[in-house]
């Protein structure tokens, strides 16, 4: 769990200062397996809060490891069993997000996420699937 050269909310964002980079789900700015962002904004208060919930969870997990199960498999609800092989990208609607692709490659190769980012920096993630007959 690292945030690459990012300033954390509440630490050093001063009144009237707007951060240059907007955090968003899948921005690949942290190494969390499941990137999760919290975002609340209110025009009447002129305030916005963005939270890297995944990074907070990672810190909680480190404090309470006995309450966390990290399972190296995914649960197939149809077959009611765990499967250890990642599914290939099969969306007909959109290309695979780079952040997800990097994490899939890390699982498949056993490399660290930073290594995958470097090794595959010049390659594109899988494209959406075009069904036969369309």
In this predicted model, what pLDDT tens digit does every residue of 70-124 receive, in sequence order?
899 999 999 999 999 999 999 999 999 999 999 999 999 999 999 999 999 999 9
116 phi, psi to nearest 5 deg: -60, -45
Query: What CA–CA distance (Å, rounded) separates 48 from 46?
Result: 7
Q: What is the mean pLDDT of the chain?
A: 86
Sign of the CA dihedral with 60 first, then 4, 102, and 18 last: positive
The better pLDDT of the pair 13, 17 is held by: 17
Residue 94 three-state SS: coil
In this predicted model, what pLDDT tens digit does every residue of 28-39 receive, in sequence order?
889 998 989 999
Confidence class for position 19, pLDDT limits 50, 70, 90: confident
Question: Within 10 Å of residue 96's Cβ, how many Cβ atoms?
Answer: 18
Q: Which helix (H) or strand (E) holds 42?
A: strand 37-42
Chain-centroid distance, C-alpha 95: 16
Residue with tokens 């498999």: 73
Antiparallel, parallel or unpaired: β 74-76 and 81-83:
antiparallel
Given a cut of 70, whether residue 17 has pLDDT beyond it is yes
In this predicted model, what pLDDT tens digit does every residue of 39-70 receive, in sequence order?
999 898 888 888 999 999 999 999 999 999 98
């Amino acid at each position: 769990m690292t945030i690459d050269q990012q300033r954390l909310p509440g630490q050093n964002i001063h009144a009237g200062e707007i951060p240059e980079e907007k955090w968003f789900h899948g921005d690949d700015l942290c190494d969390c397996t499941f990137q999760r962002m919290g975002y609340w904004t209110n025009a009447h208060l002129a305030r916005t809060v963005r939270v890297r919930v995944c990074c907070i969870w990672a810190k909680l997990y480190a404090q309470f490891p006995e309450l966390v199960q990290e399972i190296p498999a995914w649960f197939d609800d149809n077959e009611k069993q765990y499967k250890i092989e990642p599914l290939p990208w099969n969306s007909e609607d959109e290309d695979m997000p780079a952040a997800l692709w990097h994490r899939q490659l890390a699982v498949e190769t056993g490399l660290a996420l930073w290594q995958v980012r470097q090794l595959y920096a010049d390659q594109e993630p899988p494209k959406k699937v075009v069904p036969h007959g369309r």
